[in-house]
Amino acid sequence: MKYAIQVNAGPCSAQTARTAYQFIKAALDKDHEIVCVFFYHDGVYNALRSGLSAEDKDSIPPWPDLADRHGIDLVLCVSAAQRRGMPATGADGFRIGGLGQWMDACLKADRVLVFGG
């Protein structure tokens, strides 16, 4: 099964990002494929590490490590990042993209899951 995952919640506001991360790990353990993880709305904050307390850093799932191990495409929505004052360059392990990349991932996937409202 191929999954496209959208993460809409920031890492410090709820358990949503951690739940998405755990789902992805479980899916990969069952030999499913993750086509793309698209970070939208406050989900773009999952790419931030600087300026956070040690406690907040611990709450952010290690997305780049997971992506490196499994070849997962981590995409930050450029519009959502810019609206939140983030630079228009991808953080380590992430790339900047738009809704076109998300739609492409959805078309390639068997299932689309959205974590967060």
Catalytic site residues? 77
**Distance separating alpha carbons of residues 20 and 82, to the nearest angstrom:** 23
Q: Is 3 helix (H, G, I), strand (E, B) or coil?
A: strand
Strand partners, 115: 7
Q: Is 89 helix (H, G, I), strand (E, B) or coil?
A: coil
Do 108 and 4 contact (CB within 8 A), yes or no?
yes
